[in-house]
């Protein structure tokens, strides 16, 4: 049974990351949002501290995977530590959190599906002894966002590897990444079974960034559009290797790599949304205690809004902890991951909106609450929209009983 109390180690992680968020992230938050980027000298300093946003960075690192495999699944807590830490990072600044050096969303598919050689080759570069480096994850396309099965980027088999052609959009850290996990299809007629995942390295001929997006929220994070034009990728960069796909016959293994990644990352994204909601709630609660008279309808209205906000935040956190816990003990968590992502994204936006309403003009014009509201919106969209999360949940409820959704 999942425990609702944090262990001493989990509490220590929470305290350390909160200190970091309060003392390192918050002071540069508004300026980074205004500039649309995180200062390079700050990133260099953070890289030296070895701070990353991933499950492996909180659970001892995946380079020691052989030793970790000997541990009982119940002993693992990388996902739980990641969601605890991610909430504090989201509280500090979600855009800066997404910009922290490390493998990012590209890490989970390499860790779960890569060969031992690929894990060593692509993950060992993320070290505090090295310059800041990033990984990225490229799945979304202009005509295939929520409907992942509709990807059009092609991978044509040639001697020694594959040639990729296509476009990817909304890729976090896509321009600065040392490598990007790219999903493409070897045969569109096969549907999901034709999907393959490749690691494409920066500087590969035919691979380039065409545009950096300007956004309403999380402005300090980099969001890129990537283009692949006759981009040759060697066979050893096919994630998992040829044998990985051959062993699965005609099954949709490339698609499964993408979905497994989401099962691990959606709780992390959900926890960041919870951090945004908590930041808005805590700021507004403090403001109401200082500014509102202790009587009258305005104070009672504020009390009702803030009580509901705390209820939503606590419920979202428990959903998220359950999804992370199931991932740590090796149980399927697709439904829980979808549920916590859907609920947390919704409550983040709702809580920020209600808090802005309470503060009125005092919460606008280059104010932290106004920024939190802008930042919150994307958490209802990326890593699968709210509607897609409900579809995933419905499939988990009905398809085991033979009902197609």
What does the domain layout of the chain look like in residue ranges?
135-252
Partner residues linked to 199 by β-bridges: 181
- E strand or H helix at 308: helix 297-328
pLDDT at position 60 is: 44
DSSP 238: B
pLDDT tens sequence for the chain (405 residues): 467 889 999 999 999 999 999 999 999 999 999 999 999 999 988 887 776 655 455 454 444 444 444 444 446 888 999 999 999 999 999 999 999 999 998 998 998 889 999 999 999 998 777 788 999 999 999 988 777 778 999 999 999 999 999 999 999 999 999 999 999 999 988 888 889 999 999 999 999 999 999 999 999 999 999 999 999 999 999 999 888 777 665 555 667 777 777 888 899 999 999 999 999 999 999 988 887 766 567 878 898 999 999 999 999 999 999 999 999 998 999 999 999 999 999 999 999 999 999 988 877 776 899 999 999 999 998 888 888 888 888 888 887 777 676
For residues 341 and 384, is the Cβ–Cβ distance under 8 A?
Answer: yes
CA pair distance 54, 86, nearest whole angstrom: 9
CA pair distance 201, 122, nearest whole angstrom: 9
pLDDT at position 248 is: 61
pLDDT at position 122 is: 96
pLDDT at position 4 is: 81
Please say if 229 is a catalytic residue: no
pLDDT at position 386 is: 85
CA pair distance 189, 145, nearest whole angstrom: 19
Length of the chain: 405
For residues 146 and 196, is the Cβ–Cβ distance under 8 A?
Answer: no
Active-site annotation holder among 88, 225, 336, 383: 383
- Nearest Cα to Cα of residue 196 among 233, 243, 155: 155
Q: 135-252 architecture in CATH? A: Beta Barrel (2.40)
Quickly count: other Cβ atoms within 10 Å of residue 123's Cβ: 23
Three-state DSSP string of 72-122 = CHHHCCHHHHHHHHHHHHHHHCHHHHHHCCECHHHHHHHHHHCCHHHHHHH
Quickly count: other Cβ atoms within 10 Å of residue 288's Cβ: 19
- Nearest Cα to Cα of residue 180 among 197, 158, 156, 159: 197
State phi, psi for 218 to the nearest 5 degrees.
Answer: 35, 50
């Amino acid at each position: 049974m999942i425990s609702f109390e944090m262990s001493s180690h989990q509490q220590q992680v929470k305290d350390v990351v909160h200190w970091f968020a309060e003392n390192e992230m918050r002071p540069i938050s508004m300026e980074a949002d205004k500039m649309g980027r995180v200062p390079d000298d700050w990133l260099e300093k953070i890289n030296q501290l070895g701070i990353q946003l991933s499950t492996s960075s909180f659970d001892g690192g995946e380079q020691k995977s052989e030793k970790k495999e000997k541990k009982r699944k119940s002993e693992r807590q990388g996902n739980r530590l990641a969601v605890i830490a991610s909430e504090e990072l989201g509280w500090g600044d979600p855009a800066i959190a997404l910009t922290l050096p490390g493998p990012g969303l590209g890490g989970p598919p390499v860790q779960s599906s890569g060969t031992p050689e690929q894990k060593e080759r692509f993950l060992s570069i993320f070290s505090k002894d090295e310059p800041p480096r990033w990984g990225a994850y490229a799945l979304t396309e202009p005509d295939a966002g929520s409907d992942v099965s509709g990807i059009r980027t092609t991978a044509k088999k040639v001697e020694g590897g594959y040639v990729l052609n296509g476009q990817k959009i909304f890729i976090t850290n896509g321009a600065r990444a040392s490598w990007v996990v790219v999903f493409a299809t070897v045969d569109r007629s096969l549907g999901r079974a034709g999907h393959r995942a490749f690691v494409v390295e920066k500087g590969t001929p035919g691979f380039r960034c065409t545009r950096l997006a300007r956004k309403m929220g999380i402005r300090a994070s980099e969001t890129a559009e990537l283009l692949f034009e006759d981009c040759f990728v060697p066979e050893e960069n096919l994630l998992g290797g040829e044998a990985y796909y051959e062993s699965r016959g005609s099954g949709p293994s490339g698609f499964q790599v993408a979905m497994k990644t989401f099962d691990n990352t959606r709780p992390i994204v959900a926890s960041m949304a919870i951090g945004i909601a908590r930041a808005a709630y805590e700021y507004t609660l403090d403001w109401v205690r200082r500014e509102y008279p202790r009587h009258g309808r305005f104070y009672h209205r504020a009390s009702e809004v803030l009580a509901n906000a705390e209820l939503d935040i606590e419920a979202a956190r428990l959903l998220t902890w359950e999804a992370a816990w199931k991932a740590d003990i090796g149980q399927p968590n697709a439904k829980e991951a979808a549920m916590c992502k859907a609920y947390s994204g919704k409550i983040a936006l709702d809580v920020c909106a209600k808090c802005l309403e309470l503060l009125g003009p005092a919460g606008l014009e280059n104010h932290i609450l106004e920024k939190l509201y802008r930042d919150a919106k994307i958490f209802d969209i990326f890593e699968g929209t709210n509607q897609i999360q409900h579809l995933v949940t419905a499939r988990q409820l009905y398809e085991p009983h033979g009902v197609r959704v």
